[in-house]
Each structure stands twice: as structure tokens, then as C-alpha cells.
Amino acid sequence: MWVADMDFRVAPCILEALQERVNHGIFGYTEIPSRWAKAYQNWWSKRHDFRIEEHWLVFCTGIVPALSSLVRKLTTPNESVLVQSPVYNCFFSSIKNNGTRVLCNELVYKNGEYEIDWADFEKKLSDPQTTLFILCNPHNPIGKIWKKTELARMGELCAKHGVTVISDEIHCDLTEPNLSYTPFASASEICENIGISCISPTKAFNIAGLNTAAVFAKNKFLRHKAYRAFNTDEIAEPNAFAVTATIAAYEKGSEWLDELRVYLSENKKIVRDNSVQAGLTADWTRATFIVRVSHLQKLKDFAYTERVPIKEALDVALERFLQDQHNLLSHDKERHGGEILRIDGEKTYTVKEVAERQGFMVK
């Protein structure tokens, strides 16, 4: 299992709907019924206080495929796409694999919170080569739920510099039990008009393997671009279970999801408390099922850029980091017999250098 999944069994309402679909016994091509759009509409109205018009919605087989497809359609090679790092790794691959450059507006870590460096954000937007901004709302991996005022300010600055916004909102239903998120499109009229939002039940309901997602855009030009992009890239057709699972999740999964959010919140608290006992600190992530534990978190963020002073405490954290972060590092056991060497002295290293010295492969 990869870090982006939960190991909970899927909600009974989804299993029952899928079972029924299996019993139907015919698995030809699937048309997307208006009930599919209604399910999204009702969910966003009830849970996120935002009205999505039916014709704004476009089906796609996943958010990462949609990001890549939109980057291809909305940019030309060598343009720059802005992201707020640290951020979900596939943003980088979707940008780079399609011939565009990544521009990072690095989030600033202060007192357990990440904040936007607004001057840097605007400077990077004002680069004539910057044409697209991929926002993560709520933000993976920092678990931040952006405030309405922050979203509106991002939208205003993007509009000022002619930059289109793609808002990836896949984590929006995994907020802490008493918290909700603000859809980017609901933050202001400007935001509603300059963006494409990516939404999906897959993260919250643990059905990523069913390949089902949607984007919506009020702006006709952007919506049409998304529609054309998904068609030319052949990511516009659902598999036999994609629509069924989405409808079941949004029509009947509310109670299950609320129980899950309480459970996740309690789990995250246990991890935070244990981290404190182990002499580490862990940030309170207001969304996602991810907990970020320092120094692991710091080291991960700095993996490619900053040089980190290796002090005694950090040494221990680094060792654990190297052992635990299978998603970032894989151990070359053949060459080093599975042993992890300690780093000593006061020299500084990037994690990448340390990893390379010790025969780890940075993925």
C-alpha cells in the first residue's frame, strides 16, 4: 500500500452498489448519467456550501491524469507552472513530463504553520513565462486548509498576471471533524472565473483504484479546453464501476465519512502525542490523513535544496527518516547489507547527499 491510501475497507454503501453492478453482469461502455452530476452537485451544496452547475462538470479518470492533460492543453513547452512547495510530488511530474518548468513559491514554516510568501508568489506570477498555477486546496502534505481570504488573494494576483489556476481539491472531504474547506471557486467571483477545480470521492472514500474524478469550471473557455484535453488524451471515459461508486459515495456515504474523520483525527492525535514523547514535534494537520513529524518533515522538505546541520539529535532523526521513508528512499541492500551508517561531525549535508553517500536511491 502506498502512502496515499488508507487501509480501511470501503463503506458498505459503496460495496453494495458495486456488488449490484457486478450482478448486472454486463460491462460494456458506460454512459455518464445526469445522476452522476447530481451526486456531485448535492454533495458540494450540502457539505461545502457551494453550488456547482451541472454543465460545469466534466468526468475524467483521475486527478493526476487531468493535471497532466490540462498542463498539456493550457501551456506550451518551456512555460512555467507555479506550485507552492512542499507539495504533492505528482504536481512536479505532471509539469515536467509535459515540457513545462516548475516554479516553486516555497511556503514559509513558522511556529508549526506554513504560510505564503506573498511577495515571492506575486514575483513568480509576474514572470511572463508563468501561465499556470496549480493550487492544492486543502494542501497535501502540510494539511493546511486555505482561508477564504487567502484563496481570494491568490485568485486576484493570478488574474492580475493573467495566470490560470488549477485547484486540486481531492483532500477536501478529509478535514478535521469540526472543520470544512472553502472551494477555490467559492472564494470570489474572480476565483470562480479563472480556475478549473479538480474533485473526486476517491481519497475520502478510499476508492482510488476505481479511477473516477471530475473537474468543474464556470468559465466556458477553460471548461471546453478541459473537455477537449480529456477527450484527446482518452481520459474521458469511465470504467464500469467508476460512476456507480461515485454516486454511492456521494448519495449514501455521508455518515460513514463523518465517522472516518473522527477516527482519523483520533489516530493523528495518538501519533502527535507519541511523537512528543519521543522528543519530536508533529504539526496539527487540519486536513488529510497525513501527520508530519519533525525533523523528518524538515529533512524531507529540504531534500533537494537546503543544507542541514547534522547535530546529534538530527542524526537519530535522520536514521529513522532513512529507515522509514520508503516512499522517498529505497535501500540498496545488496551493496550495504541493509546497514545504515551514522553521520557525524558538524558538517552540513543535503539529505540527497547523505542518501547517496549511503547507497540509498532517491526516487
Ligand X SMILES: Cc1ncc(COP(=O)(O)O)c(C=O)c1O
Residues at the contact surface with ligand X, assessed by CB under 6 A: 4, 62-64, 88, 136, 140, 168, 170, 200, 202, 208, 213
Residue (79 or 168) nearer to ligand X, CB: 168
> Nearest approach, Cβ of 236 to ligand X (angstroms)?
14
Degrees, nearest 5: CA angle 118-124-127: 145
d(CA 342, CA 129): 44
> Nearest approach, Cβ of 288 to ligand X (angstroms)?
8
> Nearest approach, Cβ of 90 to ligand X (angstroms)?
6
d(CA 64, CA 234): 14
Residues in CB range of 173: below 8 A, 6 or more apart: 47, 201, 203, 204, 257
- Say if CB 126 and CB 105 are below 8 A apart: no
Residue (1 or 119) nearer to ligand X, CB: 1
Strands (E), the chain: 57-60, 80-83, 101-104, 108-110, 113-115, 130-136, 164-168, 195-199, 213-216, 281-282, 293-294, 308-309, 329-331, 348-349, 360-362
Q: Exposed, middle or buried by CB within 10 Å (0-12, 13-18, 19+), for 38?
A: middle
> Nearest approach, Cβ of 206 to ligand X (angstroms)?
11
> Nearest approach, Cβ of 340 to ligand X (angstroms)?
28
Residue (206 or 358) nearer to ligand X, CB: 206
Residue (65 or 354) nearer to ligand X, CB: 65
- Say if CB 265 and CB 254 are below 8 A apart: no
> Nearest approach, Cβ of 209 to ligand X (angstroms)?
9
Residue (141 or 155) nearer to ligand X, CB: 141
Residue (84 or 200) nearer to ligand X, CB: 200
